[in-house]
Chain A
């Protein structure tokens, strides 16, 4: 296909497993934790670059975050992404997944024609896996989640999804939204050859709320319907419990226990 245009949504996430949470504000403490490119977004970028190499395409990366989030765009430029859009504005701060997806879809529309939107399955900070599907929802596009292989052919893509008990091949018409898992590919390393152009600003566009023509009342924390009831660090010290008895007794007691914690 000629003139294929791919958008990849990427996110900067805290780069450590030792992220702590603030029990007062119910949010992650990000200070002092270096930001990294969300791992599965790297797979999404790689998937886009593979399609580019095979079929020819223009790949644009899109990210929303504080100005420092531009770092992840520089990194994907060094991988070979052609252009990037950084969505940054105080008005965006505190947006939940729904509002984030709304902002991203507005930006995608503003960026012009596109054929395929790729996202990582989920981000390692929030772990919701919602933004990809929500973008599809806002834009009224078909979506395929958890892609492990993408094949492109004349206006369609065929996507393999590995489910627990079967393999599914889904064929959808473009434009479409696809979220990928880490098993789809092995992302390439960014190249030193691209470092200069990646950082000179020539590939980057920055947009704020005004550029997207959305009123501040529809953005950020206040507009977000998600309410976080409580955020806490899991207690890793909890040990397993050994249920005594013969097989029947063990099964019965296990069922009672699971009922007791509302699992079944």
Chain B
């Protein structure tokens, strides 16, 4: 077993770290506070290849592996968790399913623009009454001639307002529940497709989370991604990759929390000592470091399995579950170590704390991940 990264992986990580340190970190706090999408940063990052990390070069991507993808997303999240999720969602649940399931014509039309970052991607499954239970979605797509007509409302869609291309799950046959769901590639700007409310969130605030409204929205049937009725299959494939990215994002947030504590605990003095001299503080930092390392190994293992194209026995869910909960624990300890200052927006750990909470919820809550893991063991 080789625990060292390849030259490519190390160089990609260095590129991501340098970029994030210089271009994301200085603005992350302000963008979080103003809930402002990182327009310029995403434009720059796209030019550097971050929007098609694992998409092959012939489709406009970088052709790198999933392990590299994990390293990159962790670095971005270390400095700005919002930018990290914009990049991760785009790569994993928007571009990747088009690569995996798209026809050659769809790839030509959409994948190039996605992988090169010319267009931003989103993924729309969740609805007000269908979150953890996606089979119960009510958005419908009715066949009319050579088109499908979409009606319904999607909620909580990452990059909902800023994206150009959305993978939309809609029911083509409600009597079949899950098996009647079909995935569509839908372009922004077409008639009947509008962006609704932009949510005001606890964390990950620089990423826009919006409602998408479909009102007699006519989509050419050639925009069906995968097979009719294969939408849930497409979604699960995409979300499996998505979880690896979210796990990597969690690692970045956890690392930020820990690194801030190492710095702060050496500076802060009480009772005439640096607080890092107190064993209570040392143990919290030691636990953070250990858990982060374990979460990273789990995430890299899931990435490795994907790179070898082997089936998961829930490692993707384990990585997402564990890494997101590690991030939450690390951020909670980090606020504690910072004391009152940790409650203030001037300190990064305050943001980590809010960001970590969201990570435990999206792309499948902790409970749903446990359910998937248990099912893989008890089936």
Contacts and interface: CB of A to CB of B under 8 A. Distances in A.
Interface stretch (B48-56, B121-129, B337-345): B48-56
B313 interface: no
Contacts of B62: 192-193, 195-196
Contacts of A199: 6-8, 11
Interface residues of B, number: 23
B49 A191 contact: yes
Given A195-B64, A196-B62, A189 B15 contact: yes
B39 to A, nearest CB: 17
B11 A195 contact: yes
B63 A196 contact: yes
Interface in A187-206: 189-193, 195-196, 198-199
Nearest to A191: B48
Interface in B1-19: 6-8, 10-12, 14-16, 18-19
A74 interface: yes
Interface residues of A, number: 13
Q: Which of B19, B48, B57 has the most CB of A within 10 A?
A: B48
A45 interface: no
B100 to A, nearest CB: 20
Contacts of A193: 48-49, 57, 62
Contacts of B72: 192
Contacts of B16: 192
A75 interface: yes
B12 A192 contact: yes
Contacts of B15: 75, 78, 189-192, 195
Nearest to B47: A191
B117 to A, nearest CB: 11
Judged by DSSP, the binding face of B is helix
Nearest to B12: A195
Interface in A124-178: none
Contacts of B7: 74, 199
B112 to A, nearest CB: 13
Nearest to A34: B14
Nearest to A70: B7
Contacts of A189: 15, 18-19, 44, 48
Interface string A103-141: 000000000000000000000000000000000000000
B326 to A, nearest CB: 25
A195 B203 CA distance: 33
Interface of A: 71, 74-75, 78, 189-193, 195-196, 198-199
Given A75-B15, A195-B64, 19 more contacts: A71-B10, A74-B7, A75-B11, A190-B15, A190-B18, A191-B49, A192-B15, A192-B16, A192-B48, A192-B50, A192-B62, A192-B72, A193-B57, A193-B62, A195-B49, A196-B62, A199-B6, A199-B7, A199-B8
Contacts of B68: 195
Contacts of B11: 71, 74-75, 78, 190, 195, 198-199
A192 B64 contact: yes
Contacts of A195: 8, 11-12, 15, 49, 62, 64, 68
Contacts of B53: 192
A192 B62 CA distance: 6
A196 B19 CA distance: 18
A192 B53 CA distance: 8
Contacts of A75: 11, 14-15
A198 B12 CA distance: 10
Nearest to B53: A192
15 contacts: A71-B10, A75-B11, A189-B19, A190-B11, A190-B18, A191-B15, A191-B48, A192-B48, A192-B53, A193-B48, A193-B49, A193-B57, A195-B8, A195-B49, A195-B68
A78 B10 CA distance: 12
Nearest to A79: B15
Contacts of A71: 10-11
Contacts of B12: 192, 195
Q: Which of B11, B44, B48 has the most CB of A within 10 A?
A: B11
Nearest to B68: A195
A203 to B, nearest CB: 12
Contacts of B64: 192, 195-196
Interface string B282-325: 00000000000000000000000000000000000000000000
A78 B15 CA distance: 9
Interface in B34-60: 44, 47-50, 53, 57
A192 B44 CA distance: 12
Of all A-B residue pairs in the complex, the 9 with the closest CB atoms, nearest first, are: A192-B49, A199-B7, A193-B49, A199-B8, A192-B62, A191-B48, A190-B15, A195-B12, A74-B11
Q: Which of A74, A78, A192, A196 has the most CB of B within 10 A?
A: A192
A8 to B, nearest CB: 18
A39 B50 CA distance: 24
A199 B14 CA distance: 13
Contacts of A78: 11, 15
A249 B267 CA distance: 42
A71 B18 CA distance: 15
A199 B72 CA distance: 17
B296 to A, nearest CB: 19
A193 B16 CA distance: 12
A196 B62 CA distance: 8
Interface string B59-81: 00011100010001000000000
